[in-house]
Amino acid sequence: MRVSQLFTKTSKTVPGDEVARNAQLLIQAGFIHKEMAGVYAYLPLGLRVLENIKNIVREEMNGIGGQEVSMTTLQPRDIWEKTDRWDDQKVDNWFKTKLANGTELGVGLTHEEPVVDMAGNFVHSYKDLPFYTYQIAPKFRNELRAKSGLLRGREFLMKDMYSFARTQEEHEQLYERAVEAYCRVYERLGLGDMTYRTYADGGIFTSRFSDEFQTLSEVGEDRIFVDEAKKVAINEEILTDENLQKLGLNRENLVEKRGVEVGNTFHLESKYTDALDVYYVDDQGNKQSIIMGCYGIGISRLMGVVAEHFSDDKGLVWPENIAPYQVYLVRIGGEEAVKHANALYEELTGIGVDVLYDDRDERPGAKFADAELIGIPHRVTVSDRLITSETYEYVARNGGAATELTRHELLVKLGRPNN
């Protein structure tokens, strides 16, 4: 992509109505556009990051056998009444709307009911189980207060997966396999070291804890207590002596931290399947309840967390796995430089390297500043003064001094990275 063709621009000034660092940087660098509080559009650069995150999540979910679907945002009232989650007294952050004939609809905030209703069309026998299904889709929640840029929005992108099992034992296996996949996702995003599996409130099921995945962050909304040695944490909301004992944790080993919830997995037992009258028949011909789990990852929130964390005073510093482009190619100088830069751009693009080519007629300082703000991992400069030596300047965004590389050395360094 040529920067001259990119319709978005960077800004020299920080947006006045954002305090959250992730939102400031992402808006300034032209990754997102604020439509209203808690509602952001993704611009070309931002969408590429979002797609990269989605693909990592998708690969991991597919890796454990998840079957991707796309459910609807418009929701019929009846299935939610069967589980008693339609009433605003029960679930207060519904967005609701109406058909022209007055029929009330819900705007999807989660999808347990629809996924169960849908699965019920196909699941009848023990032979049809177990399975996982998931989607990556927008969610709408009427939050009383949107805040912190991408970290808490009213419209956001979420991956939600649901598991259907025949027995509790089978469910436990599915659940742990999903948790392991979650850990791999955070590893691949570069958040592994600072993300803790955290025991949290089980929601409707007090008998059981849920697992949150909390990335340590000063801007986090949750207070968690981390056991560094065991690499687990417990959410403040369930921090009682009884629970600590149940979990085998010792209060002395816990350190209080703030975290951003980047994932949450729940045991749903058979609440939704029973309520929606979805059962299976076992090999004896007996009707049995289906045990469910649900597993959420906030995709757009993850983008915010990464932006919030991987940045410096000059701008964003994207991890290679999710960077919008791998290489920021800066062209400095006259006709010769144009010729060489164009050739390098074609060559890199030709071998599958994603290049953002700054072909603008701007001064070097402006290009370098934008390169740093946008935060692409590798910066390569083609300039008049390097043409005679047949070299390119290379500098990594995440630090290190600039070096001069020959064409061959450069190609080796930029060989398409394995995601």
Interface residues toward RNA, by CB under 7 A: 9-20, 36-38, 85, 91-93, 109-110, 141, 143-148, 152, 160, 203-204, 210, 221, 264, 266, 294, 296, 314, 332-333, 361, 363-366, 368-370, 372-373, 381, 383-386, 393, 395, 402
Residue 288 CB contacts under 8 Å (≥ 6 apart), including other chains: 126, 166, 279, 280, 281, 282
85 versus 188: smaller Cβ distance to RNA: 85
Please, where are the H alpha helices in 276-334? 299-309
Say if residues 146 and 36 touch (Cβ distance below 8 Å).
no
Q: How far is the CB of 4 from RNA (least distance, A)?
A: 12
Q: How far is the CB of 419 from RNA (least distance, A)?
A: 26
Q: How far is the CB of 91 from RNA (least distance, A)?
A: 6
Please, where are the H alpha helices in 189-260? 241-247
Q: How far is the CB of 218 from RNA (least distance, A)?
A: 10
In the chain, what is the straight-line distance between the N-terminal and C-terminal CA atoms, in Å? 20
48 versus 141: smaller Cβ distance to RNA: 141
112 versus 227: smaller Cβ distance to RNA: 112
Hey, how many other C-beta atoms are within 10 angstroms of the C-beta on 220?
A: 20
320 vs 302: CA distance, rounded Å: 15
Q: How far is the CB of 320 from RNA (least distance, A)?
A: 20
In degrees, rounded to 5, the angle at the alpha carbon of residue 408 between the alpha carbons of residues 407 and 409 is 95
Torsional class of 39: left (φ above 0), alpha (ψ -120 to 50), beta (otherwise): beta
52 versus 83: smaller Cβ distance to RNA: 83
Structure tokens at 180: 């392991």
Q: How far is CA 126 from CA 191, 283, 287, in A?
A: 38, 7, 10
Q: What is the SS3 assignment for 259?
A: strand
13 versus 418: smaller Cβ distance to RNA: 13
391 vs 381: CA distance, rounded Å: 9
Q: How far is the CB of 128 from RNA (least distance, A)?
A: 25
Q: How far is the CB of 418 from RNA (least distance, A)?
A: 28
284 versus 388: smaller Cβ distance to RNA: 388
96 versus 363: smaller Cβ distance to RNA: 363
